Amino acid sequence: MGKWLKNIWFSLSLTIFSLLVFAPRKGFAEGENVSISRNDMLNVAKELHPPGCTDSMTADYCTLSTAYDLRQEIWSLLEGGMDKKQVIDYLVQKYDERILAAPTPEGFNLIAWVLPGVGVAIGSILILFLIKKWKKGQVESNENQQKQFVTDYDTNKVQEELKNWL
């Protein structure tokens, strides 16, 4: 009975240890204070455009006071237990879609995602067409130049010179 009790005790201890070490800490217990890092906050902030900042700046490196306020709001929402998607959804509800650094790929905003690819494809086809046309014109030009350089007079003159030397 002693060996069996030791095996149960060992298995139970190993299970409890595994749960404590490998279980996710977020949401493990209600009211638990979730610690987040600055990188967690900046990871969310880089997808948002704070009010007042230029279009090329996101909340992770904008220096306006609105960006500081937005980063503080992101920090408090993350500490409250929200994940990245929940924070972004909350801020979109609060500030509208203009807070997003990139438009959502749906509806009319889909044009912003598709148009660059279409432009590159059309530009590539146009460049290939122009290169093909340019090469064709260059080959025709070379043939015309060769025809212009060797005339019948030149051919006869070369033949006469060859007769004198041979």
Give the range among 53-67, 74-88, 122-136 with minimum mean pLDDT.
53-67
CA–CA separation, 33 and 43 (whole Å):
20
pLDDT in tens, 77-104: 998 888 889 999 998 898 888 888 877 7
94 and 140 fall within a common domain = no
Contact assessment for residue 81 and residue 27, using Cβ atoms and an 8 Å cutoff: yes
DSSP 8-state secondary structure symbol assigned to residue 100: B
Q: What is the DSSP letter of 98?
A: G
Statement to judge: residues 29 and 95 lie in one domain:
yes
pTM above 0.75, yes or no: no
Give the confidence band of 5 by pLDDT, cuts at 50, 70, 90.
low
Q: Let me know whether 36 and 63 are in one domain.
A: yes
- 17 and 92 belong to one structural domain: yes
CB atoms inside a 10 Å sphere around CB 73: 19
Q: Does the pLDDT at position 140 exceed 70?
A: no
Q: Are residues 35 and 113 in the same domain?
A: no
State yes or no: pLDDT of 146 exceeds 70.
no
Q: Domain range holding 93?
A: 2-102
Q: Give yes or no for a contact between 102 and 55, defined as CB atoms under 8 angstroms apart.
A: no
Q: Angle at Cα 26 formed by Cα 21 and Cα 27, nearest 5°?
A: 110
Q: Do both 37 and 56 map to the same domain?
A: yes
| Pair 50, 128 in one domain | no
Considering the domain architecture, whether residues 118 and 46 belong to the same structural domain is answered as no
Shared-domain flag, residues 139 and 97: no
Instruction: Choose the final residue of a domain: 49, 75, 102.
Output: 102
* CB-count exposure of residue 58 (10 Å: 0-12, 13-18, 19+): buried
Give kind and range of the element (H or E) at residue 81: none
Domain count, the chain: 2
CATH of the domain at 17: 1.10.8.640
